[in-house]
Amino acid sequence: MVDQAIPSAVVGVGYLGRFHAEKYAASNKAILAGVVDTDEKRAQEVGESVGAPFFADYRELIGKVRCVSIAVPTRNHFTVARDFIDAGVDVLVEKPLTANIDEARDLVDRAQAKGVILQVGHLERFNPAIRRLESVISEPKFVECHRLAPFVERGTDVDVVLDLMIHDIDVITSLVRAPVERVEAIGVSVLTDKPDIANARITFANGCIANVTSSRVSLKRERKVRFFQSDAYISIDYDQRRAQIFRKPAAGAGWLDIRGENIEIKDGDALADEIDSFLDCVRTRTLPLVSGAEGLRALEIASMISAQL
């Protein structure tokens, strides 16, 4: 019902923030009380397209909203999120949580002290393929992951690890469920002054090893991850919405008895699901699927990798 809808806002309505605004505007759980962008023309354009007030200064919304999505450049995540958290406003901040670990820890501590919901926008956690197969993936021993994309200028304020690889770092660590013991990494700067392609070998305390490659200078787009565990091999193609499971044959059976199972991944809207989940957490005061602490964990591992590039 409208009188139960949560007053919400979106700060930063560039490429991704515009989609956030559209999802809030379409949700019956929210009232989009405003969109914000330092580019006043852009703020007006998006605001008018979704039927919401528009602002150039996010501080004008403090006291008027219960929750906010933050989709500003990474370097500004900390300042904007801090101001809303200090005002008692629940925050969904796009990944990475902040530009560095100290800022991320500060936000997590502030949110805990204020009793504020802090969710990090690691969108792949809401990917239908991951949600469908997370119950099948159990104690993997080896993970192979490729995330390749053609070059776009958006996101190049950080290296490819914080831009792209951090998605897979978050998903893999959530499924391996063990601390990281060490990382080995290499990266190359191709079109920017920061590494644009990188490979990392992540060793977990339980013995699992993940080999992760990310590139933002590839000719074609590819997003695939493969999990190898004692009883099965699971392959997920995010873009093709396709997955396969090859299970270990029963005792006494030969390798010819191995059969692949094709898994149908239904179309979904991961961003709408992410925002819907956030709004539920705001209402019920429950821990988000990707909490600030988990966003911090992903950033810590990403920073370990970046430090070697």
Tens digits of per-residue pLDDT, 23-69? Answer: 999 999 999 999 999 999 999 999 999 999 999 999 999 999 999 99
Q: CATH code for 2-121+271-289?
A: 3.40.50.720
Phi first, then psi: what are they for 297, rounded to 5°?
A: -60, -45
What is the band of 150 on the pLDDT scale with cuts at 50, 70, 90?
A: very high
What is the pLDDT at residue 262? 86
Give me the residue label for tokens 């091999």: 233
Burial class of residue 112 (count of CB atoms within 10 Å of its CB; 0-12, 13-18, 19+): middle
| % of the chain with per-residue pLDDT over 70 | 96
What is the band of 105 on the pLDDT scale with cuts at 50, 70, 90?
A: very high
What is the band of 247 on the pLDDT scale with cuts at 50, 70, 90?
A: confident
Helix axes 101-114, 292-306, angle to 10 degrees: 170
Please give the residue that has the higher pLDDT: either 239 or 79.
79
Q: Does position 249 have pLDDT exceeding 90, yes or no?
A: no
**Going along the chain, which residue ranges are E strands?**
6-11, 30-36, 54-55, 67-70, 90-94, 118-121, 142-148, 180-188, 197-204, 209-215, 222-229, 232-237, 242-247, 260-264
Per-residue pLDDT, averaged over 246-273, amounts to 79
What is the pLDDT at residue 1? 39
The whole-angstrom separation of Cα 226 and Cα 246 is 11
Q: Domain map of the chain by residue range?
A: 2-121+271-289, 125-268+302-306
Please give the residue that has the higher pLDDT: either 210 or 130.
210
CATH of 125-268+302-306 among 3.50.50.60, 3.40.50.300, 3.30.360.10, 1.10.3430.10: 3.30.360.10
The mean of the pLDDT values for the chain is: 94
Q: How far is CA 202 from CA 143, 180, 234, in A?
A: 9, 7, 19
Query: For the whole model, what pTM was predicted?
Result: 0.92
